[in-house]
Amino acid sequence: MLETYAERYQRDLVERVIPFWLQHSLDRVHGGYFTCLARDGRVYDPRKYVWLQGRAVWMFSRLYNELEPRQEFLDAATLGVEFLRRHARDAQGRVYFSLSQDGTPHAFQRKPYAAVFYQMGLFEYARASGDQGCLDESVDVFWRIVEWIRHPELLDRPLLAGQTPMSNLANLLVVGMMAFDLAQHFADPRYREVVRETIAGVARHYDAERRIFREHVALDGRDLMALPEGRLFNPGHSIETAWIMLHLLTLFPNAAHTRLALDALAGSLELGWDEQFGGILYFIDLAGYPTLQLEATMKLWWPHAEAIYALVLAATLTGEQRWVDWLERVDAYAYAHFVDPQYGEWFGYCNRQGDLALSSKGGNYKGFFHVPRALLFSLQAIERVNTP
């Protein structure tokens, strides 16, 4: 059963997704990647968005490391790494959000994520190329990110007195994912320790009544239902968290945590699936209030990509049919609404009813990342169960 999916995902990845980005995304003049690509691949904004530069470096490097050691992948990664290392950091070592086409600083975001994807790109590239400078810098940036998250005033966003101290799921996860990779490369026990703390931290985001991960929980366990961010449920993110948990747990196997991650996957799909129009909603207020996010009821590509991989992983780990049933549903929605058979890659943005709201293939937040990662990881998971 899963083999059918594997064949299709393999074909899509190799024939329709990777070629789209290799053909349209590489800036051979200035280095780095164009990510603002129209349906047919035309560049509609030449800027270099650093989240997506780092993510593409990571993706090309991971493809080189784990799909096939094609020189083309390594060259594409090198094009991004060299551009990033030349341009992406300011005098204090902080990472810009965006650069002009030639690498001149354009904007700074008071968030750590540009640095996170910079770090992930460098580390994966170091694995691919053996470049010691990249490896060293990825370690240095990792520890800076830990500090930036602990002390957001270092990124010009001091914690103000009216902010309820809360744990942010995204911050937890990115640190955990970086540490997970580092822990497998270095003997330094601190990385394993960060992974262990991440698992415990993510478990605190679990809402046992609803079987989902919440985006924000109070550090002191206080109820946050009076605040929109306390009631915020991002089904795609909760689903992504479930599979990331399952990855992290390979370092600290634990049946209770595994069950929790699988329960969260089931619960997130049950609560996040739009029974009326199909597809996974983007944001939900757990008390049924309107959200502050205008795009709440839109259907975005990445929750569907994340769900496909999470379901493949759950199916291969447990052998349970219920995951295959959900996979069939999510996969059918994604292929009916996001996949573009004509030009390759996926569309990104539909309205609630499933009509395309934007025809772009990439933008300042959509690049060469969620789709190829989900397809590659799904292939690999299916291959693992088929290779005794």
Q: How far is the CB of 28 from a copy of itself (least distance, A)?
A: 18
Quick check: 343 binds a copy of itself (CB under 8 A)? no
Cα–Cα distance for residue pair 90/105, rounded to 1 Å:
8
In terms of Cα–Cα distance, which of 322, 209, 204, 203 is closest to 252? Answer: 203
Q: Are 54 and 120 in contact (CB under 8 A)?
A: yes
Pick the stretch among 39-47, 175-183, 301-309, 332-340 that binds a copy of itself (CB under 8 A): 39-47
Q: Does 358 bind a copy of itself (CB under 8 A)?
A: yes
107, 251, 266, 286: which one binds a copy of itself (CB under 8 A): 107
Helices 255-272 and 301-318: angle between axes, nearest 10 degrees: 140
Q: Per-residue x/- mask for a copy of itself, residues 363 to 382, rule CB under 8 A?
A: xx------------------
Q: Cα–Cα distance between 266 and 84 in angstroms, integer? A: 39
Out of 154, 271, 317, 357, the residue judged to bind a copy of itself by CB under 8 A: 357
Taking the least distance from each CB to a copy of itself, the nearer of 153 and 328 is 153
Of the pair 4, 92, the CB lying nearest a copy of itself is at 92
Print the binding letters for residues 291-330 with a copy of itself: x by CB under 8 A, - otherwise. Answer: xx-xxxxx--------------------------------
Nearer to a copy of itself, 216 or 257 (CB): 216
Helices (H), the chain: 2-11, 18-24, 50-62, 71-87, 113-129, 132-150, 169-185, 189-204, 235-248, 255-272, 301-318, 321-337, 370-386
Cβ at position 247, least distance to a copy of itself in Å? 29
Residues 6+ apart with CB under 8 A from 91: none
Q: Check if the beta carbon of residue 283 is closer than 8 Å to that of residue 293.
A: yes
Number of residues that bind a copy of itself (CB under 8 A): 49
Q: Does 52 bind a copy of itself (CB under 8 A)?
A: no
Closest CA to 233 of 275, 296, 277, 327: 296
- Please say whether the beta carbons of 139 and 98 come within 8 A: no
Choose, by CB under 8 A, the member of 343, 351, 383, 385 that binds a copy of itself. 351
- Does 92 interact with a copy of itself (rule: CB under 8 A)? no
Instruction: Rule CB under 8 A: choose which of 66, 82, 85, 108 binds a copy of itself.
Output: 108
Q: How far is CA 47 from CA 68, 112, 311, 326, 348, in A?
A: 30, 20, 35, 38, 19
Contacts for 151 with CB less than 8 Å, ≥ 6 apart = none
Q: Please, which residue, 51 or 142, has the CB nearer to a copy of itself?
A: 51
Closer to a copy of itself at the Cβ: 90 or 193? 90
Q: Least distance in Å: CB of 116 to a copy of itself?
A: 21
Tokens 């634990």 belong to 254
Stretch that binds a copy of itself, among 124-132, 204-212, 261-269, 348-356 (CB under 8 A): 348-356
Nearer CB in complex with a copy of itself: 157/247: 157
Scanning residues 275 to 294, which ones bind a copy of itself (CB under 8 A)? 285, 287, 289-292, 294
225 binds a copy of itself (CB under 8 A): no
How does 7-21 read in b/e, with b if 16+ C-beta sit within 10 Å? Answer: eebbebbbebbbebb
Interface positions with a copy of itself (CB under 8 A): 36, 38-39, 42, 44-47, 96, 98-100, 103-108, 156-157, 160-163, 226-228, 285, 287, 289-292, 294-298, 349, 351-353, 355, 357-360, 363-364
